[in-house]
Amino acid sequence: MVATSTPNQAMPSVASQVQTRLKIKNAGTMDVSAACAGFLYGIVLAKGLIAAKTHKKILVIGADTLSKVTDFTDRRTCILFGDGAGAVIVEASDTTNHLFHALTGTDGFYGKDLCISNQEAPISGLPVIPNNKIQQNGKVVFKWAVQTLIENIRRLAAANNIELKDVDLMIPHSANIRILEAVCNELGFPIEKCLHSITMYGNTSAASIPIAWYNGLKDGKVKIGDKFLAIGFGGGLTYAGIYMENGIKQAAN
């Protein structure tokens, strides 16, 4: 399962090409198109498929090559984005359910404020530039992102019957450090317990959360038994969040 907004081809899917390269037999494949929230949509879908006992183990990848769709003449946006990829394996637990309640949502009215289009067809009823490049209304997206994260982090904590003070780590989508600072300030959550990848790699869309997660594991910030929230948000405008604890294993390399 590959979350991406920047495939090289519309068909075959990126997931199908990954399956071929890895020579994995007897596997279904699909791409997930939910922009910067795509990786967590993939996790939520994987959890559902495994809980339904139709699948046992699912490779979930978040990958985007935003340099392909960045307008380098637009200095308001081109300095923000980067390329990256990250992956996890989701599988059934023998002991405890480590992936708990999740949430997803969309506010399509704001679709025009963060989009990529190669056609003149309007988005949310308004025209867009058909240049196949990222177009972003930064002020609108910033305000929406801060409000959406604050509301849904609280919702996610309440759905899992936990207090934010008991959360060890939070991994939000790394879109903008000022967004993360504003959210942490409003929630009273320590910014040092907020993992991000923005300062090293920029906004890597669907890859930002797995990159931050991996760096947290590598640096010893993510430990077995930790309780943490992850929340993604982006084009659509979409969002998705999950709560996890225990059962986190780092690959050998």
pLDDT > 70 fraction of the chain, expressed in percent and rounded: 95
| Whether residue 173 lies in the annotated active site | yes
Check 115, 173, 184, 194 and give the catalytic one.
173
> What's residue 6's pLDDT?
95
pLDDT band at 252 (very low <50, low <70, confident <90, very high): very low
pLDDT tens, residue by residue, 142-195: 999 999 999 999 999 999 999 999 999 999 999 999 999 999 999 999 999 999
| Whether residue 184 lies in the annotated active site | no
- What Å distances lie between residue 27 and 41, 55, 60, 226, CA to CA? 19, 9, 13, 31
> What's residue 97's pLDDT?
57
Reference 34, options 111, 113, 125, 122; nearest CA is 111
Q: Write out the two tokens for 88.
A: 């996890």
Check 115, 194, 196, 203 and give the catalytic one.
203
pLDDT at 248 over 70: no
Contact of 111 with 123, CB cutoff 8 Å: yes
> What's residue 130's pLDDT?
87
Helices (H), 86-245: 138-159, 177-187, 198-201, 208-218
The owner of tokens 């795509």 is 38
> What's residue 126's pLDDT?
79
> What's residue 118's pLDDT?
84
What are the DSSP E strand ranges found in 66-189? 83-91, 99-106, 114-116, 134-136, 169-172
| Whether residue 36 lies in the annotated active site | yes
- What Å distances lie between residue 166 and 63, 134, 159, CA to CA? 31, 38, 14
Q: Integer distance in angstroms from the first to the last C-alpha of the chain?
A: 21
pLDDT at 253 over 50: no
> What's residue 93's pLDDT?
78
Looking at every residue in the chain, the average pLDDT score rounds to 91
pLDDT band at 124 (very low <50, low <70, confident <90, very high): confident
pLDDT band at 251 (very low <50, low <70, confident <90, very high): very low
**pLDDT, greater one: 127 or 198:** 198
Highest mean pLDDT among 6-10, 16-20, 72-76, 122-126: 16-20
pLDDT tens, residue by residue, 28-42: 999 999 999 999 999
178-214 burial, b for 16+ CB within 10 Å, e for fewer? Answer: ebbebbbeebebeeeebbbbbeebbbbbbbbbbbbbb
Reference 108, options 238, 239, 2; nearest CA is 238
Reference 184, options 224, 242, 229, 236; nearest CA is 229
Q: For 220, which DSSP code?
A: T
Q: For 190, which DSSP code?
A: -
What's the CA gap between 119 and 14, in Å, rounded?
22
3-state helix, strand, coil in the chain (%, to 5): 35, 25, 40
Check 36, 115, 184, 194 and give the catalytic one.
36
**pLDDT, greater one: 86 or 115:** 86
**Ordered domains of the chain (ranges, CATH):** 2-91 (3.40.47.10), 99-245 (3.40.47.10)
The owner of tokens 């300030």 is 185
Contact of 212 with 218, CB cutoff 8 Å: no
